[in-house]
Structure 1
Amino acid sequence: MLHSVKELLDKGPIGKEVAVNGWVRSFRSNRFIALNDGSTIGNIQCVVDFEQFNESLLKQINTGAALNVSGVLVESQGKGQSVEIQVKKLVVLGEADAESYPIQPKKHSLEFLREKAHLRVRTNTFAAVMRVRSALSFAVHQYFQKNGFYYFHAPIITGSDAEGAGEMFRVTTLDEKNPPLTDNGEVNYKEDFFGKETNLTVSGQLEAEAYAMGLGKVYTFGPTFRAENSNTSRHLAEFWMIEPEMAFYDLDANMDLAEDFIKAVIAYVLENCTEDLQFLEKRLLDEEKSKPLAERSEMALLDKLRFIVDNDFKRVTYTEAIAILRNSKPNKKGKFQYRIDEWGADLQSEHERFLVEKHFKCPVILFDYPAKIKAFYMRLNEDEKTVRAMDVLFPGIGEIVGGSQREERLDVLLEKMKALNIDEKELWWYLDLRKFGTAVHSGFGLGFERLVQFATGMGNIRDVIPFPRTPQNAEF
């Protein structure tokens, strides 16, 4: 019977004949094969009596080769594994050239492995990260499905810019060398495939709002795109977003949901990805030994995840946060790269992390931000200076969730759009939602890769998505 490596290591039938497929991680002394099939961080040791097999077959067993192995599962006499297979039959399914196979049993830099993104999942680190990513994906769907949400597929091609950022990828079928022009000499998008200028979406929020106003509670979970020329460890051009939208939810209910959701999905991986998280924690501890003490994390990975699950999130207004930051030692001594002098400043990651890691020492939800630094669709407060926005801040990462109560009043929304020169005709359907049965509603967005980064402890966001898309890089 064919088993996975995980099944054999967990509760394999000792003394029985088993079969397993996998890739060779190492082959020592022409006798010990470490085989892995991706089902777990551990390898199954396969012990070969080389006298039973001809030499030409053994020469094909190199690191990276795919094998089918059959034999008796026995308790291991050696250190490092509880069980092993005494091999009776061995078939090489696919050879790997020993000289050119790049993933050898030694430490490789993350930069090198990004150049081999098609093969890096065969390393322990990336296999562990991708199993955690898969578990988190499942946990996201499980949470929303259990809590009465409907999965909504937002369009990937859109004519609107939900964020107002303008950094979007254009979608067109026009001849790039000779596009049709208007009388004014501009590109005539009326002759394009969709009859108008279209882009890849930066967010499914606006469309999700429409469906929340009919289904009550919906969520999106899909790819989004931003043409921001940022070559940093925190940015991707293609990334996945989780965006729930809820009718009849005010800001307080929105904050309650965000906190409960994050705790639930992190608790899920703590329970279901123990071995992978332990491996990633050890990797992180080894990596940090080379860093100065001041730059090392105050908490190990598993402690950091339990810290999120076990602690209530502190809720603080933007105004309170500004007062704390303005009077903080790093601000007074010029340690912040961006000094906080006055109310209305747009907080940077360094400020957010100070609030979480140094001041409150727990996850923080900031709310009631200045209207000037937030999007047009956020509900204006009675003071007419702030909006019902909220951001969830985490240790080591800063903002992980951004959301708000949406502006449900047609007259106020029209005023805000006019002040920002947003064309009413472009969003006529969005305005209709405020004309026909408008109601209080809210939602938030969570960048999935940021969540995976937090859960795995990986320092670069390019290492938590299978094939990263970044400026000047669309390989694979």
Structure 2
Amino acid sequence: MKHTKVKDLLNSSITLQEVNAKGWVRTFRNNQFIALNDGSTINNIQCVVDFENTPEETLKRITTGAAISVTGTLAESKGAGQQYEIQVAKLQILGDSDPEKFPMQPKKHSLEFLRENAHLRVRTNSFGAIMRIRSVLSFAVHSYFQQKGFVYVNTPIITGADAEGAGEMFQVTSLPLDNLPKTEEGNIDYKKDFFGKHTNLTVSGQLEGETFAMALGQIYTFGPTFRAENSNTSRHLAEFWMIEPEVAFNDLDANMDLAEDFIQYVIKYALDNCADDLKFLEARLLEEEKSKPQAERSEMTLLEKLNFVLENNFKRVSYTEAIDILRDSTPNKKKKFSYIINEWGADLQSEHERYLVEKHFKCPVILFDYPANIKAFYMRLNEDGKTVRAMDILFPGIGEIVGGSQREERYDVLIEKMKDLGIDEKELYWYLDTRRFGSAVHSGFGLGFERLVLFVTGMSNIRDVIPFPRTPMNAEF
């Protein structure tokens, strides 16, 4: 008999039918009541065992974590809290679980403990909910761009280009590390490496994406990126996923329109399709908030925060105006900011971004026209010669969630910027070719997928929204 997902059983409108369900035991009470979950929903289905006619040996094997198959009648539940239950006629143990050794017992575990058991943590309600939401958000990303006529492009994971100019990249090599070939000058001879040159794991698919936008009009990438930044914080990962659209003929204003529309679409999609999981995570967050001092508690619940983004137009503010607001703000004057804003040109921190969103404007904010010297070389230089057509989207509780810009389409200006920063023209000849052959105004942005999942789930540590986090000194599983 084909088994039916728990989600479908709980949503069924037909009772007194024979069904089969398979899943994992969450709890087993009074030798009679099994809470069964198969991952299709955060909700369990109660399975009522006929313990008088079930062998004692089988009952002993129904333990937390065990995989089982139950066949019986789907009936209206007599107990509170659930509409349907399965009155079990036949029960089969598919996989035993040692109740004394299984780490995911039905009790509260610390997030740190769960990270140490990342291969099993998805069996908990919290991580099951997070990963289902992550999956739905991923689908929403593709759905949005496909509906808008974007072409999905798989940009290289191995590259010789450093898109950000940060230098914090993981090197890729097949050279023997204990016997590196050297040139006559004593340098490592990369001509003998697998690719014949120095290569790294990518930090962004943007530069390659731009080349495709210059032929296909509008494209997006959605793939893994890597950053060898030795930051052991709740906001950093060494391996993460990036969403990066690039659009020919879009200026900065059109770029901001696209980013706002996109991010509201995916959040609404999650609200429409993950109601049970979001309701659970909201309750979890409210419980967590109780243990915090009043001053540190969030002013909005999780669902209020998500609807806050949907119900408010994003306020567009220049960097210069934002600096004036921050410099004159009470937290700055009373030195309550960790990073005091004294002058134009400061690189804004999360505390400044959140102040603008949560305290001053009370809506999502798009900052634009940043100082050129704190932004990447490919961003279009404004006529003032000191700012670039960059934009960042700021959200409550998290600060920056999207970063983008109008790209520098003028060949001569781009060459000068590269020279000033010491970027080798020969290494990026192919990127410069897009400015030599049919250049046009174009724009794009990057959204770290984990940052989006973090915002939608209300989690506070980015390591908890990716299946297997990669961080300094940690590459388990």
Residue 30 of structure 1 contacts residue 58 of structure 1 at CA under 8 Å; is this kept in 2?
Answer: yes
Q: Determine the structure 2 residue equivalent to 1:52.
A: 53
The 5-angstrom pairing of residues 170-185 of structure 1 reads 170-185=171-186
Shift of 1:2: 1.8
Q: Determine the structure 2 residue equivalent to 1:457.
A: 458
Distance 2:372 2:103 in 1: 52
Q: Determine the structure 2 residue equivalent to 1:354.
A: 355
The 5-angstrom pairing of residues 179-194 of structure 1 reads 179-194=180-195
Report the secondary structure of 1:185's partner residue: coil
| Alignment pair present for 1:225 and 2:212 | no
Q: State TM-score, norm by structure 1.
A: 1.00
Aligned-partner residue type, residue 288 of structure 1: E
Report the secondary structure of 1:155's partner residue: coil
Shift of 1:81: 1.1
Report the secondary structure of 1:113's partner residue: helix
Q: Determine the structure 1 residue equivalent to 2:436.
A: 435
The 5-angstrom pairing of residues 15-164 of structure 1 reads 15-164=16-165
CA RMSD of aligned residues (A): 0.6
Q: Determine the structure 2 residue equivalent to 1:260.
A: 261
Shift of 1:194: 0.3
Distance 2:472 2:437 in 1: 42
* Structure 1 residues 121-173: Cα deviation after superposition (integer angstroms, max 9, x where no partner): 00000000000000000000000000010000000000000000000000000
Distance 2:274 2:26 in 1: 22
Aligned-partner residue type, residue 347 of structure 2: D
How many residues matched? 476
Distance 1:453 1:24 in 2: 28
Runs of 4+ off more than 3 Å: none
| Alignment pair present for 1:426 and 2:427 | yes
Distance 2:32 2:269 in 1: 39
Residue 206 of structure 1 contacts residue 430 of structure 1 at CA under 8 Å; is this kept in 2?
Answer: yes
Aligned-partner residue type, residue 291 of structure 1: K
Distance 1:220 1:301 in 2: 29
Distance 2:401 2:451 in 1: 6
Aligned-partner residue type, residue 136 of structure 1: L
Distance 1:119 1:25 in 2: 13
Distance 2:49 2:432 in 1: 71
Aligned-partner residue type, residue 113 of structure 2: F
Residue 69 of structure 1 contacts residue 89 of structure 1 at CA under 8 Å; is this kept in 2?
Answer: yes
Q: Determine the structure 2 residue equivalent to 1:309.
A: 310
Distance 2:127 2:185 in 1: 53
The 5-angstrom pairing of residues 366-385 of structure 1 reads 366-385=367-386
Distance 1:76 1:59 in 2: 25
Aligned-partner residue type, residue 131 of structure 2: M
Shift of 1:450: 0.3
Residue 189 of structure 1 contacts residue 195 of structure 1 at CA under 8 Å; is this kept in 2?
Answer: yes
Q: Determine the structure 1 residue equivalent to 2:476.
A: 475
Report the secondary structure of 2:11's partner residue: helix
Distance 1:301 1:17 in 2: 39
Aligned-partner residue type, residue 55 of structure 1: E
* Structure 1 residues 147-206: Cα deviation after superposition (integer angstroms, max 9, x where no partner): 010000000000000000000000000000001001121111011000000000000000
Shift of 1:27: 0.4
Distance 2:56 2:13 in 1: 30
Shift of 1:310: 1.0
Aligned-partner residue type, residue 369 of structure 2: D
Shift of 1:269: 0.5
Distance 2:53 2:8 in 1: 27
Q: Determine the structure 2 residue equivalent to 1:394.
A: 395
Q: State TM-score, norm by structure 2.
A: 0.99
Distance 1:195 1:338 in 2: 45
Distance 1:5 1:159 in 2: 48
Distance 2:50 2:411 in 1: 79
| Alignment pair present for 1:341 and 2:342 | yes
| Alignment pair present for 1:205 and 2:206 | yes
Aligned-partner residue type, residue 249 of structure 1: N
Aligned-partner residue type, residue 214 of structure 2: M
Distance 2:99 2:347 in 1: 53
Distance 2:246 2:406 in 1: 10
Distance 2:220 2:310 in 1: 22
Residue 149 of structure 1 contacts residue 218 of structure 1 at CA under 8 Å; is this kept in 2?
Answer: yes
In 2 relative to 1, CA 42–85 (structure 1 residues): closer, same or farther, beyond 3 Å? same
* Structure 1 residues 213-235: Cα deviation after superposition (integer angstroms, max 9, x where no partner): 00000000000000000000000
Q: Determine the structure 1 residue equivalent to 2:404.
A: 403
Q: Determine the structure 1 residue equivalent to 2:236.
A: 235
Distance 1:369 1:102 in 2: 49
- Segments of structure 2 that go 5 or more residues without pairing to the other structure are none
Shift of 1:446: 0.2
Distance 1:46 1:451 in 2: 37
Distance 2:291 2:30 in 1: 33
* Structure 1 residues 241-289: Cα deviation after superposition (integer angstroms, max 9, x where no partner): 0000000000000000000000000000001100000000000000000
Distance 1:143 1:15 in 2: 41
Distance 2:344 2:17 in 1: 71
Distance 1:107 1:345 in 2: 43
Shift of 1:13: 2.4
Distance 1:51 1:419 in 2: 82
Shift of 1:11: 1.5
Shift of 1:12: 5.0
Aligned-partner residue type, residue 80 of structure 1: G
Distance 1:80 1:176 in 2: 61
Residue 12 of structure 1 contacts residue 73 of structure 1 at CA under 8 Å; is this kept in 2?
Answer: no
In 2 relative to 1, CA 114–12 (structure 1 residues): closer, same or farther, beyond 3 Å? farther
Distance 2:214 2:37 in 1: 48
Aligned-partner residue type, residue 383 of structure 1: D
Aligned-partner residue type, residue 189 of structure 1: Y
Distance 1:215 1:466 in 2: 33
Q: Determine the structure 1 residue equivalent to 2:249.
A: 248
Report the secondary structure of 1:72's partner residue: strand
Shift of 1:405: 0.2
